[in-house]
Structure 1
Amino acid sequence: MGTYLQKSGMAAGEHPETLNISQPALIQSIHLKYLKAGCDVLTTNTFGASPLKYPGDIAPAIEAAVANAKAAIDAYQRETGDASPKYIALDLGPIGQLLAPMGTLSFDDAYESYRRQAEIGIRAGCDLILIETQTDIYEAKAAVLASKASGDIPVICTMSFETGGRTFMGTDIESMATILEDLGVDALGLNCSFGPKEMLPLVEKLIGETSCPILIQPNAGLPKTIDNITVYDTKPLAFKEIMTKIRALGVTHIGGCCGTDEQYIAALKEIVILMPSPDRKPAPERFRIASYAKTVTIGGCAPVVIGERLNPTGKKRLKEALRQLDKDYILKEAISQIEQGAAVLDLNIGLPEIDEAALMPVLIREIQGIADIPIQIDSSDLNCLEAAAKYYNGKPMINSVSGKRESLDTILPIVKRYGACVLGLTLDDNGIPSAAEARFAIAEKIVREAVALGIPKRNIIIDCLALTASAQQSDVIETIKAIQLVKSRLGVPTVLGVSNVSFGLPYRQLLNQTFYIMAMTAGLDAAIINPGHQEMMSARDAFNVLNGWDEQSKDYIQTYGHITKRVETIRKEAVSGADAGDGSTGGLYDIILKGLKGQASETVEGLLKTMPPMAIVDEIIIPALNDVGSRFENGTIFLPQLIQSAETVQQAFERLKAALSAVEGASISKGKLVLATVHHDVHDIGKNIVKVILQNYGFEVVDLGKDVPPETILEACVQYDIQVVGLSALMTSTVTSMEKTIALIKKERPETIFIVGGAVLNPEYAQMIRADHYAKDARETAQIVQQLFR
């Protein structure tokens, strides 16, 4: 729609949705072209009709958009006599702001924005909702929940990916499929980003990750500008050829995004006629939990370790940290467990004096800001579970539901509503049965009740409960038998809190390790243990070799090939971060890598006792930032961790500024430059990220904001004597604004160097508009700026 409106004369910077009211005939004529080409679903001209970015009341624009689509369908049916059903999809695009903690937009505000759009569209008469071009799975979650709460119509969600197989915010195909499918969307898929050729390998991956209907809407290839007009490099015939392969994979719904005029839709219609019902093998049913960037499968693979240390039971130091809201201690515990091998973190904050419902979402956000592994929400507080499941970025596991009637009636609806997994405890109103068969009966009841409520069996895991050998010795072996029964008869995975078995007995580690091995042999899929206990981790590693999970013993050899070095490494890991603030360079470097903001200032204070301030910047901070940038570039960390590290450096710089001001001639500034999002472009997410990164490399940034006219940028260059300008554009239509800005300033100040970036830019575009450098992301921008100011 946007591409077509540009070709139809829409002014640069004009909001397309205003044309629903001012030029309804134009909108209807575009819809009619697509109907005649054979499309079955019209998407409304509402992509940007968000109350957070549309100028004015969104209701008239959305109502007019739906009315225009209806009018086009009526006109088409009168003209052609075609009575086949045609549908109207309310198009919901991204808000254009980063959600907290990376940005300032709250999840609730995002939810309310989408809820208002959805309610207006449903009242106006749309048939389904299409949430598209999402790059942040957290925002997509808000949009899906809001849409489903607004009315009983189908909801589809598609996301935009980079060529590396992740979205801009770091979500991979597996995590997207895991999260969206269990949020209850009626179809999911991919749109925008690039053409069908580049999208094909992503579709091949997606097909195996979900049984949900799949919608694929590529662009008409990659864009380029010729005579100020955006054109795409894939013609309808080539588009059809690749989309035929995509349809044959089992894709149920196909369409086009940027640049796909009615010729492309006509080509797609031919594919659907030839392949009305593509063959598709259902994806395997797997128990999967996910963060925004990583999915963990439990069952049918090597046993998974769930870190138990973020639970205050028996942990005096953690209790104090929770009471005092010592986030740094909690985050260090999380990082330590991940480094020691935990694939999932159990988070329990159950203290009588703590408001769990208020604190749990805060700690989840903090942990998800520095770590990408999934979290198990562990609480007996119903309000806490509800809040945590709502604000969790991904698909969490809720710990727990039991066979008690009240538990089933209150916990399972939360699991269903937020697309979570649930851990079922084999206990009921009569307590924990001794016999394995009785525990199995409770497990069977939990599974039956969950499935009846619409929770798929793949989202249920059973804890057969370890009892203490000191008090209930004969019941210990019943736990092992119960695991075998649940695995063989119910076919769901099992989990166990192993260390309960040894309470009250000496040398607990030996009992825990032996019981863990027994349970794994019986089929245990996951254990809630302390990953810092080497005996437990060694038992798991050895079991994986002997059971065939560790092919060719690769992981075992890597871990234990040099056993003495390994023992020393484990000791260091157990106290990782303990040197923070002691004046060692390793402390600050590690703090930056891990994004531990609260420790930065104190650690700098310690370093200043032995190092000059500029040495700290040059020898520690800049190398650490370079390391973070390299990890971001090679995909071992993602945007949230990159921003967290940058904000940690900001805290360090705040303390260093005071020290530098006391040193004659010392300056932390490595140069000054201007950043701006170009005229008529209202998106500034990418520009804001670049700003944070550059500031933390020691550069002064004059941030002119978004929708900045060329004259304003020129004035800033003159006022601040700027030689380097960074320009951002996220909309295809505003690349011309970027070109005009460069032309104006080059004429007045030919020595000015321009760095350009944004989703619609590429090196070819940059060259055509006479930019000096193209930067694909914040990391590359920092590298270019460092070279320019060297």
Structure 2
Amino acid sequence: MGKVSFRDFIKNNIVILDGATGTELQKRGMPLGVSPEKWALENPKILMDIQKSYIQAGSNVVYTCTFGGNRLKLAEFGLEDKVVEINRELAKISKEAAGDSAYVAGDISATGQFIEPFGDMPFEEAVEIYKEQVKGLLDGGVDLFIIETMVDIQEARAALIAVKESCNLPVCVSMTFDESKRTLTGTDPITALITLQSLGADVVGCNCSTGPEDMIEVIKEMKAYAKVPLLAKPNAGLPRLVNGKTEFDMDALEFSSYVKDLVEAGVNLLGGCCGTSPLYIEKIKENAKNLKPKAPCPKKVSCVTSARKTVFSGFDEPVIVVGERINPTGKKKLQEELKEGKKSEIRRFAFEQVEKGADILDVNVGMPGIDEKKTMVETLQFLSTIVEAPLCIDSSSYEVIEAALRVYPGRAIINSISAEKKKIEKLLPIAAKYGAMFILLPLNDEGVPEASQERCKIIEYVYKRALEYCFEKEDIIVDGLVMTVSSDQNAALETLKVIEWCRNEFGIGSILGLSNVSFGLPERNWINTAFLSMAIGRGLTMAIANPSSEILMSIKMACDVLMVKDKNSAKYIEKFGGKKSTKEKAVEKAEEKPHLSTLDKIYNAVLTGDRENIKELIDAAIKEGNEPSKIVDDYLIPAITKVGDLYDKREYFLPQLIQSAQTMKEAFGIVEPLLIKGDRKENKKCVVLATVKGDIHDIGKNIVGLMLRNYGFKVIDLGKDVMSEKIVETAKRENAHIIGLSALMTTTMVEMREVVKLAKKEGVKAKIMIGGAVVDSDYAKEIGADGYSEDAYAAVKLAEKLSAF
């Protein structure tokens, strides 16, 4: 099935997907703790019966039973050398079951590890892991691909690139959002949509974690900017334990009652996730029978994203400021650090510019004596973990730009593409492949035309070439290319004519590098600011500038008000009304200033996740005579507590939480031996952690363990798929204060009750807390556990509370 036929297939009809597969396999005898892929291969008739049941119920598409069919997941069962074979054979079984009655989607999901920059797995390794699985599915004859239940936008990108580089079949990508409408790593629905559809996904959507009611809101947010069809596969409400079995609180009739609302919100493809069965699909089919999907009608705005934030620019949007400071030109200290592989100056410039109002950060690391490609990739990955601002990739090297775009966990903007023959031929395909926006520079091989009319002709030429790669005007920002007025008095006026033409005649956004206009003149800030206000009046949508210029930023915000780009003057009032958000205050406090004491800098290092400098700061504090206990009690612990507060308020997300936790771990590793030498009594409370029997998911548990260690707990991590006897035996032997249990599957959550029962029978005094996507506080009470935590930081607070008794 090609992309065209797939799009025709879903254009005028609601496409019905299948429901849950794992629970259906277990209903038919699959035991806990085995590889679903291996068991399905050994019992092909059962798998075929399930898929035929879904097709008879109304599914137009069935998923292959390859959810955990990647190398890392299969390795947990000693099957890592059979990836291609397992995926191929399972795809063949699905094809046989579907016949001519339904399409077969090759099912791909998470590896269980975080990808750089949010984790340790190299990005290219993740791509290769997925390519291996894709090969098997292609050999088995799948019609399309579905990348599902993704909690990390970077892992979703890796899987999408793997499919796109392996074949030309349609590919759908489905993220998992919690009740706050964020993924585990902090991506919101709009950011996920824009990133993935720009990268080439044919369908984008959401599945798992929530029921249909919450998913309606996610789809609504996506629909406003969607150029592609949208997919939804909700859970059947919340899981409950009834007579020792997991059941969901929403029956098929109630579940299907949301079909109309989901379609009105913008869904094109609809199915079920956890807790659903062929009966649910049958009811979906009935309720969708007379419904038609809404055609895409995305807002005409330019969108650039990071992993956690989207920045919009357009004629009705506030003028976007692109911070220009991360550039080694004229910055000796930054040049030295880039040669040494350090990041302190980059961190400082990033925080400083974001605090002062930069919406996007331009990143240029080009200088002699370094590997620019390696440095650019490392810099982008570093910045992606510490700031939310999207990034602009600024380099004259095609290789550097492509390497950067490949690993950037969002939709970047390229600075820049001109009409120069080599540039346009090399960079347009690269920008198109990775879905990047780009700045259009109106110059050609003959140089920069002085007259605005000639620049406009170049703009039209580059745009026509960009159309060949399916770019739209919203994907391009035109640089007016201002030259210095000190050498040409008419330079600013010619540039303003280009800006006005872009706005009024061509209908495309524009950008200016403000500092060029005043080069060679005294008191340059006045010239830059005056020129900015004139350009905004002509239709400028973005500006490359130094946001530390208070007058420039103030005039920019005033212009936004006067040009009716700042609705109700909200941003102006927020800026000048004296109120700041918690996050802004935290970032402001984190800014490195000469008058800060070494101890304050230690606090800031933990707050901002500055692992690079924490050792030097701790050593300096000790040399200054500060007691190790004072460093821990008055600075390290308050800092990590503040990080937790920001995480609680959803102002920090998992990447920042992990960065700060790792910085805390490194700091404590230096201070702890000194505490022992100083005869400080160790009184660590012991926590035994485990993912229960039959469950092979442990990424959440691992994060909980990291956080608990950094809050002073002694953690014994027993791993995943752990028998209840081993958990209780370890808790008794270690005299544990707490047992922490994790489960991510509805079929394994029942094992938590078995641990609670056994612990009470054996007289274990440890308090028991539980966590995982499928459980909640009601379930904790139901099985007799002492508490439930919804995330890693909540687990720390709960552990502190429980261990106090």
Q: TM-score, normalised by structure 2?
A: 0.93
2:163 maps to 147
Q: CA RMSD in A?
A: 2.0
Q: Which of 588, 598, 603 is the aligned partner of 2:612?
A: 598
- C-alpha separation in 1, matches of 2:717 and 2:515: 54
Q: CA deviation at 1:602?
A: 2.6
| 1:330-374 deviation per Cα after TM superposition (whole angstroms, max 9, x unaligned) | 112111111111111100000021111111111111111111111
Q: Which of 671, 677, 683 is the aligned partner of 1:662?
A: 677
1:69 aligns with 2:77: no
- C-alpha separation in 2, matches of 1:619 and 1:254: 53
- C-alpha separation in 2, matches of 1:228 and 1:209: 44
Structure 1 counterpart of 2:795, one-letter code: T
1:472 maps to 488
Q: CA deviation at 1:120?
A: 1.4
1:700 maps to 714
- C-alpha separation in 2, matches of 1:173 and 1:561: 31
Q: CA deviation at 1:59?
A: 2.4
2:59 maps to 39
Structure 2 counterpart of 1:599, one-letter code: N
Q: CA deviation at 1:574?
A: 11
Q: 1:294 to 1:575 in 2, by over 3 A?
A: closer
- C-alpha separation in 1, matches of 2:450 and 2:369: 34
Q: CA deviation at 1:742?
A: 2.7
Q: Which of 676, 682, 700 is the aligned partner of 2:690?
A: 676
1:641 maps to 656
1:5 aligns with 2:5: no
Q: Does the aligned pair in 2 maintain the 1:191–1:219 contact within 8 Å?
A: yes
SS of the equivalent of 1:166 reads coil
1:622 maps to 637
1:166 aligns with 2:182: yes
1:787 maps to 801
Q: Does the aligned pair in 1 maintain the 2:41–2:89 contact within 8 Å?
A: yes
1:588 aligns with 2:628: no
- C-alpha separation in 1, matches of 2:264 and 2:558: 43
Q: Does the aligned pair in 2 maintain the 1:44–1:88 contact within 8 Å?
A: yes
Q: Does the aligned pair in 2 maintain the 1:307–1:345 contact within 8 Å?
A: yes
Q: Does the aligned pair in 1 maintain the 2:338–2:375 contact within 8 Å?
A: no
Q: TM-score, normalised by structure 1?
A: 0.95
- C-alpha separation in 2, matches of 1:575 and 1:190: 36
SS of the equivalent of 1:230 reads strand
- C-alpha separation in 2, matches of 1:60 and 1:561: 64
Q: Which of 765, 768, 771 is the aligned partner of 2:779?
A: 765
Q: 1:728 to 1:561 in 2, by over 3 A?
A: closer
Structure 2 counterpart of 1:379, one-letter code: S
SS of the equivalent of 1:734 reads coil
SS of the equivalent of 1:53 reads helix
SS of the equivalent of 2:598 reads coil
- C-alpha separation in 1, matches of 2:459 and 2:430: 19
- C-alpha separation in 1, matches of 2:573 and 2:754: 60
- C-alpha separation in 2, matches of 1:722 and 1:249: 50
Write the mapping of 1:56-135 to structure 2, written as runs, cut at 5 A: 56=79, 57-74=82-99, 85-135=101-151
Structure 2 counterpart of 1:704, one-letter code: L
2:342 maps to 326
1:345 aligns with 2:361: yes
Structure 2 counterpart of 1:782, one-letter code: V
| 1:156-178 deviation per Cα after TM superposition (whole angstroms, max 9, x unaligned) | 01111101111111100110111
| 1:615-640 deviation per Cα after TM superposition (whole angstroms, max 9, x unaligned) | 22222222222211111111111110
SS of the equivalent of 2:288 reads helix
Q: Does the aligned pair in 2 maintain the 1:222–1:233 contact within 8 Å?
A: yes
Write the mapping of 1:105-504 to structure 2, written as runs, cut at 5 A: 105-275=121-291, 277-280=292-295, 282-299=297-314, 300-504=316-520
1:650 aligns with 2:670: no
Q: Does the aligned pair in 1 maintain the 2:238–2:774 contact within 8 Å?
A: no
Structure 2 counterpart of 1:544, one-letter code: D
1:17 maps to 37
| Bigger mean CA offset, 332-341 vs 280-289 | 280-289
Q: 1:337 to 1:234 in 2, by over 3 A?
A: same
- C-alpha separation in 1, matches of 2:437 and 2:189: 19
- C-alpha separation in 2, matches of 1:174 and 1:615: 44
Structure 2 counterpart of 1:427, one-letter code: L
Q: CA deviation at 1:666?
A: 4.0
SS of the equivalent of 2:165 reads helix
Q: 1:562 to 1:361 in 2, by over 3 A?
A: closer
- C-alpha separation in 2, matches of 1:303 and 1:265: 47
1:77 maps to none
Q: CA deviation at 1:140?
A: 0.4
Q: CA deviation at 1:768?
A: 2.5
Q: Does the aligned pair in 1 maintain the 2:728–2:764 contact within 8 Å?
A: no
Q: Does the aligned pair in 1 maintain the 2:685–2:737 contact within 8 Å?
A: no
Structure 2 counterpart of 1:377, one-letter code: I
Gaps of 5+ in 1: 75-82
Q: Does the aligned pair in 2 maintain the 1:581–1:605 contact within 8 Å?
A: no
1:28 aligns with 2:48: yes
Q: Does the aligned pair in 2 maintain the 1:580–1:599 contact within 8 Å?
A: no
- C-alpha separation in 1, matches of 2:570 and 2:175: 36
Q: 1:740 to 1:63 in 2, by over 3 A?
A: same
1:736 maps to 750
Q: Percent identity?
A: 37
- C-alpha separation in 2, matches of 1:619 and 1:703: 29
Q: Does the aligned pair in 2 maintain the 1:332–1:577 contact within 8 Å?
A: yes
- C-alpha separation in 2, matches of 1:100 and 1:562: 38
- C-alpha separation in 1, matches of 2:400 and 2:98: 47
Q: Does the aligned pair in 1 maintain the 2:589–2:604 contact within 8 Å?
A: no
1:751 aligns with 2:765: yes
| 1:687-711 deviation per Cα after TM superposition (whole angstroms, max 9, x unaligned) | 1111111111122211222222223
Q: Does the aligned pair in 1 maintain the 2:303–2:312 contact within 8 Å?
A: yes
SS of the equivalent of 2:448 reads coil
Q: CA deviation at 1:152?
A: 1.4
Q: CA deviation at 1:580?
A: 8.4
Structure 2 counterpart of 1:733, one-letter code: T
1:529 aligns with 2:545: yes
- C-alpha separation in 2, matches of 1:458 and 1:395: 13
Q: 1:41 to 1:560 in 2, by over 3 A?
A: closer
2:70 maps to 50
Q: CA deviation at 1:280?
A: 3.6
Q: 1:588 to 1:439 in 2, by over 3 A?
A: same
Q: Does the aligned pair in 2 maintain the 1:678–1:728 contact within 8 Å?
A: yes
**How many residue pairs are counted as aligned between the two chains?**
773
| 1:383-436 deviation per Cα after TM superposition (whole angstroms, max 9, x unaligned) | 111110000011111111111111111001111111111111111101111111
Structure 2 counterpart of 1:28, one-letter code: M
2:792 maps to 778
1:78 maps to none
- C-alpha separation in 2, matches of 1:240 and 1:784: 37
Q: CA deviation at 1:127?
A: 0.3
Q: 1:166 to 1:783 in 2, by over 3 A?
A: same
| Bigger mean CA offset, 335-344 vs 95-104 | 95-104
SS of the equivalent of 1:48 reads coil
2:627 maps to 612
